[in-house]
């Protein structure tokens, strides 16, 4: 009988309790998984000596101002398949994650068995979505994601989080006028991609969908 290959798994979530719970359930021969990376942030993941893992379970909302699409594309380029997890099952967020290259999207309301199935599919480079999620996103398309510069991305995410232009400028060690320019350019790029982000509320909604920050 062929020897079963163990899946090297990374789990990334900003809540330690979530990581501990998943490690306790998944790091077991029953699922054929070995958790080699436990990370509370994106920076901690990519700097880990075991990076990249075969499969990365990635929380949609890490509160780090980096879009979920950017993270997924970086992981796929590094050789890790991606399963996104989230407290919510917003259809737009699911579509954007899948379009960016994630193979699965599992709401945190599901059981660990469902996540294990998604991980096993991902390890075989296969996509997995429940029938319920497939029905929810049927016919939807997120369109091409706008290509933002690093500082444009950071500026619009910080501003969307509720900070003033002055606060964003202080965080980025630049001027208010420069921040306004970053935000204006980012909004224009989204508009060209068919996404209107003229209000602070629409910016925040987009930020939650893309994982710039949580909505709690």
Q: What pLDDT sits at residue 105?
A: 97
State the Cα–Cα distance between residues 192 and 46, nearest whole angstrom: 31
Single pTM value for the model: 0.81
Q: What is the mean pLDDT of residues 128-142?
A: 83
Domains of the chain: 7-137 (3.40.50.2300), 150-210 (1.10.10.10)
* Most confident listed range (22-26, 144-148, 194-198): 22-26
Instruction: Please write the tens of the pLDDT for every residue from 57-94.
Output: 999 989 888 889 899 999 999 999 999 999 888 888 89
Q: What is the mean pLDDT of residues 40-69?
A: 94
Please spell the DSSP secondary structure of the chain, one letter per residue. -PPPPPEEEEEE-S-HHHHHHHHHHHSSTTTTEEEEEEESSHHHHHTSTTPSPSEEEEES--SSS--HHHHHHHHHHHT-EEEEEES---HHHHHHHHHHT-SEEEETTS-HHHHHHHHHHHHTT--B--HHHHHHHTT----PPP---HHHHHHHHHHHTT--HHHHHHHHTS-HHHHHHHHHHHHHHHHHTT----SHHHHHHHHHHHTSS---
Q: What pLDDT sits at residue 3?
A: 44
């Amino acid at each position: 009988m062929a020897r079963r290959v163990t899946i090297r798994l990374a789990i990334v979530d900003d809540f330690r309790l979530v990581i501990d719970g998943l490690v306790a359930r998944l790091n077991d021969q029953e699922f054929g998984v070995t958790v080699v990376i436990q990370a509370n942030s994106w920076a901690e993941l990519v700097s880990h000596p075991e990076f990249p893992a075969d499969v990365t379970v990635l929380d949609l909302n890490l509160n780090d101002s980096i879009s979920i699409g950017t993270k997924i594309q970086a992981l796929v380029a590094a050789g890790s398949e991606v399963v996104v997890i989230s407290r919510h099952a917003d259809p737009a967020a699911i579509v954007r994650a899948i379009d960016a290259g994630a193979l699965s999207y599992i709401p945190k309301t599901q059981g660990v068995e469902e996540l294990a199935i998604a991980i096993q599919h991902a390890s075989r480079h296969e996509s997995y979505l429940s029938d319920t999620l497939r029905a929810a996103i049927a016919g939807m398309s997120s369109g091409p994601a706008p290509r933002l510069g690093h500082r444009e991305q950071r500026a619009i995410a910080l501003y969307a989080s509720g900070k003033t232009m002055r606060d964003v400028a202080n965080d980025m060690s630049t001027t208010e006028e420069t921040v306004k320019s970053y935000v204006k350019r980012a909004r224009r790029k989204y508009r060209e991609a068919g996404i209107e982000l003229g209000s602070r509320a629409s910016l925040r909604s987009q930020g939650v969908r893309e994982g710039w920050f949580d909505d709690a």
